[in-house]
Amino acid sequence: MDIIEILKSRSKDLEPYIVNYLKDGVPDNLMKAVRHYPQAGGKMMRPVVAMVTADAVGGKGKKAAPFGAALELIHNFTLVHDDLMDNDDTRRGFPAVHVKWDMPTAILAGDALFAKAFEILADVDVSDDKLRRLLKLTAQSVWTLAEGQQLDTNFENQPGITVKDYIGMVEKKTSVLFAAAAAGGAIVGGGTEKQVCDMYDYATLLGIAFQLWDDVIGLTGEEKTTGKPIGSDIRNGKRTAIVINALGKGGRGHPLFDELNSILGKADASDEEVRRAIEILDSLGSIEYAKDRAQRYAKCARDKLDCLPESDHKRFLLALADFAVTRKS
């Protein structure tokens, strides 16, 4: 099963919604900024997950498309604001919104995308009690996303962060919108209460597996495949599960740790230094540790799919969990 091909084909169903929702508005510079990321072609994984889970519980995937589109706009809103906060200059090969325009326009473009998502929700074609559930699920997800982003920022200067802390942050920052997509899709599709809960858990575990694997390929992948400089997490001093695991294995004074510590967070570290840091992390077994944890989360995610009847949709969700921890980009 070619996950990428299926994502591409499914996201085609979604494009007209996205384009249509964002076609009206003033002034021109704000509207261009609002459309900048949605038009740059993301993978639309969240709306696709929503549509597939709706199908997988026996409903109509297409009925989940507007809800999925709302989540995609929320995802894009968070990217606009995150890039500004993290001072990231490019996204999907284009200049970030705050770079192409400016800080105020980026804040407003994000806010407008956020607002549009909730306007779309008002028209989702489901019974009213389901609408209230989708509304609450979506709004709570955005609250949680903000918590996750703040935790991530705080961790940079906070000693004693554990792998558990890190996973908890990832659950908020990366998983929550996937979880809303999967659970919301199951709600739209008329799934049982157990299916809704299991889909939520599936996507939560999937999101963690994705992030842990991202951390691994960020060190072991190839720049031309991953699309971002290898070892940028090292130069940024990011406390990923890999780094936390390594630092937990020894103390100050141990030559390996001192060497590793001297490179972590060194913004102008040479390629050779970054290569050496990765070598140390590897020799300590920390990369293998993260790989293993990612695969275990993916396995737990797959187990959550037991509640679904056999179908191509279920097979897609199973394959997505495999893809999360085998992909090279």
- The type of residue at 269 is A
Answer for which of 4, 40, 89, 132 binds a copy of itself (CB under 8 A) is: 132
Residue 116 interacting with a copy of itself (CB under 8 A)? yes
Our finding on whether 112 is near a copy of itself (CB under 8 A) is: yes
Task: State the pairing for strand pair 90-91/94-95.
Answer: antiparallel
CA distance 204 to 116: 25
Look up residue 307 and give its two tokens.
């509640």
Closer Cβ to a copy of itself, 145 or 219, answer by number: 145
- 135 touches a copy of itself (CB under 8 A): yes
Which parts of 11-50 interact with a copy of itself (CB under 8 A)?
25-27, 29-30
Cβ closer to a copy of itself: 21 or 323? 21
**140 touches a copy of itself (CB under 8 A):** yes
CA 273 to chain centre: 29
Q: Is residue 161 a contact point for a copy of itself (CB under 8 A)?
A: no
Between residues 140 and 270, which has the closer beta carbon with respect to a copy of itself? Answer: 140
Q: Does 153 bind a copy of itself (CB under 8 A)?
A: yes
Residues ≥6 apart with Cβ < 8 Å to 194 = 307
Q: In the complex, what is the shortest distance from the CB of residue 72 to a copy of itself, in angstroms, rounded to a whole number?
A: 16
Over the window 176 to 205, marking each residue x when it contacts a copy of itself by CB under 8 A and - when it does not, the resulting string is ------------------------------
Shortest separation between residue 88's beta carbon and a copy of itself, angstroms: 12
Tokens at 328, concatenated: 């090279």
Q: How many Cα atoms within 13 Å fall on the side-chain side of residue 70?
A: 27
User: Would residue 121 be called left, alpha or beta, if left means φ above 0 and alpha means ψ between -120 and 50 degrees?
Assistant: alpha
CA-CA distance, 7 to 263, in Å (whole number)? 38
Q: Considering the complex, what minimum distance in angstroms separates the CB of residue 264 from a copy of itself?
A: 21
Residue 105 binding a copy of itself, by CB under 8 A: yes
Q: Which stretch binds a copy of itself (CB under 8 A): 4-12, 151-159, 297-305, 317-325?
A: 151-159
Which stretch of DSSP H or E encloses residue 274? helix 271-283
> How long, in residues, is the chain?
329
The single residue among 95, 104, 285, 309 that binds a copy of itself, judged by CB under 8 A, is: 104
- Of the CA atoms within 13 Å of residue 63, those in its CB half-sphere come to 20
- Nearest CA to 38 among 4, 2, 71? 71
Of 178, 182, 189, 188, residue with least CA distance to 211:
178
How does DSSP assign 147-187, residue by residue? Answer: HHHHHHHHHTT-TT--HHHHHHHHIIIIIHHHHHHHHHHHH
Q: Which is nearer to a copy of itself, 152 or 201 (CB)?
A: 152
Distance in Å, CB of 280 to a copy of itself, minimum: 30
Least CB distance to a copy of itself at residue 43 (A): 23
Structure tokens at 325: 């921890």
**55, exposed or middle or buried, with CB in 10 Å at 0-12, 13-18, 19+?**
buried
107-115, 189-197, 256-264, 309-317 -> range binding a copy of itself (CB under 8 A): 107-115
User: Does position 151 bind a copy of itself by CB under 8 A?
Assistant: yes
Binding site for a copy of itself (CB under 8 A): 25-27, 29-30, 81, 84-85, 103-105, 107-112, 114-119, 121-123, 128-129, 131-133, 135-136, 138-143, 145-147, 149-151, 153-154
